[in-house]
A and B are shown apart, each in its own frame.
Chain A
Amino acid sequence: MSADQERLIAELVEKGLAGEMDEINAIEDRVLRGKVKAALAKAKRAAKAAAPKEEKLVEESPTDAPPSENPHQKFGKMIEDKFPGSLAAGLNDTHIQLKPNNWFEIAKWLKSEPTLHFDSLQCHTGMDVGENMLEARYNLHSMTHDHYIEIRIAVSRDNAKIPSTEQIWRIGDWFERETYDMLGIHFEGHRDHRRMLLPEDWEGYPLRKDYEVQETYHGIVVPKVKEGWE
């Protein structure tokens, strides 16, 4: 290959990189045109390989990115905006404390709102938090956005009623039955509201702090906890 030809190829490649392909396509010598095109492809590949590296370097350089917002703060505020007065306590970083009255609507919205899309109830459990209060806790996760929140709903023992979310998250069916079985929180609207583990005619709710074991069950004596043995 002569020096002239080489110079010509280099010029044409530069033009090609700039987007002017007409001159290259107009070359009548097929061999030369092929050589130019090959050189152009090579140059483009080299440019492509070099370009993202530079971008990455820019990305990796220490920039003052704003700290990611805590989901409980962010979504708690969204819930408060959408359903005013539904928060039972101030926002914090660990959970969202809600009132029970419009929980069903909030839950429906949490699942259907495209920016939240909490499609999975990962865990639902209950707790006796003392001071005459029982609490139900929901751990929600969104498969699409991959974010989690924890919702807590506290109710008093005298009026332990929470709307059931069993029809929103079907997994909640057995979860809520278990919470009812162990703590006696009634889930209103549950379509199969029975005890989960204990027999139907069992008295009391074992995970309440003031639970007293019944004396007999169908004539079988239920032994009380023996004191003084450690």
Chain B
Amino acid sequence: MGMLENKFQDNVVVAKLDKLIGWARSTSPWYFQFGLACCAIEMMATAASRHDLERLGMMPRSSPRQADVMIVAGTVTMKMALRVKKLYEQMANPKYVIAMGSCATSGGPYWQHGYHVLKGVDIVVPVDVYVPGCPPRPEALIEGLLKLQEKILDERPLTRKMA
């Protein structure tokens, strides 16, 4: 920080706005409650007291308008796929998607014969983090969320992107 260093009192932190926004976003990714199948149980366990997602600044929201992260927890059927897409479109930017479990990443046990199952939620919405497992343990989901935090932290929302 060169010039500005030691020019202020002790309780003032000087940072780049770009980085500050990234830090603020990464430490409060409110997620969209979105249980579709058994993965939802693990998601609930992750949010409950033992694993306690709120210590990471994450809080379940029941409306897509208030959420930053959509955790697609479970089997996405064709009927649901359209609704998942609609809900994703209703979320405000910046928005992120975690595909939780093998159903959401690739169709899971239905990848071959499930005529009614979407083979991976990335067909309808862009996915940021894939969490494997059937269903993934809370630790795995937390790791996925930490990876997402890293990704958000590395973003430079104010920096103009090079063409």
Binding site for B on A (CB under 8 A): 197-199, 202, 206, 213, 217-218, 220-223, 225-226, 229
CA distance A217 to B82 in the complex (A): 10
CB distance from B35 to the nearest CB of A (A): 18
Of B67-75, B95-103, B117-125, B141-149, the one with at least 4 CB within 8 A of chain A = B117-125
B112 touching A226 by the CB < 8 A rule?
yes
CB contact under 8 A between A198 and B79, given known A220-B123, A225-B112, A229-B112 = yes
Taking a contact as CB atoms closer than 8 A, the residue among B78, B112, B113, B119 that contacts A217 in the complex is B78
Binding site for A on B (CB under 8 A): 78-79, 81-82, 112-113, 115-116, 118-119, 123-124
A220 touching B116 by the CB < 8 A rule?
no
B78 touching A220 by the CB < 8 A rule?
yes
4 extra interchain contacts, Cβ-Cβ under 8 A, other than A206-B116, A220-B124, A221-B123? A206-B115, A217-B78, A222-B115, A223-B119
Task: Determine chain A's interface SS by DSSP, over half rule.
Answer: loop
A220 touching B81 by the CB < 8 A rule?
yes
B119 contacts across to A, CB distance below 8 A? 223
Specify the chain A residue showing the minimal Cβ separation from B82.
A218
A-B contact pairs, 20 of them (CB 8 A): A198-B116, A199-B78, A199-B79, A199-B82, A202-B78, A202-B79, A206-B115, A206-B116, A217-B78, A217-B81, A218-B81, A218-B82, A220-B78, A220-B81, A220-B118, A220-B124, A222-B78, A222-B115, A225-B113, A226-B112
Specify the chain B residue showing the minimal Cβ separation from A211.
B115
Kindly list the 8 A-B residue pairs having the minimum CB-CB distance in the complex, ordered from nearest: A199-B79, A213-B115, A217-B78, A223-B119, A226-B112, A218-B82, A220-B81, A225-B113
CA distance A206 to B118 in the complex (A): 16
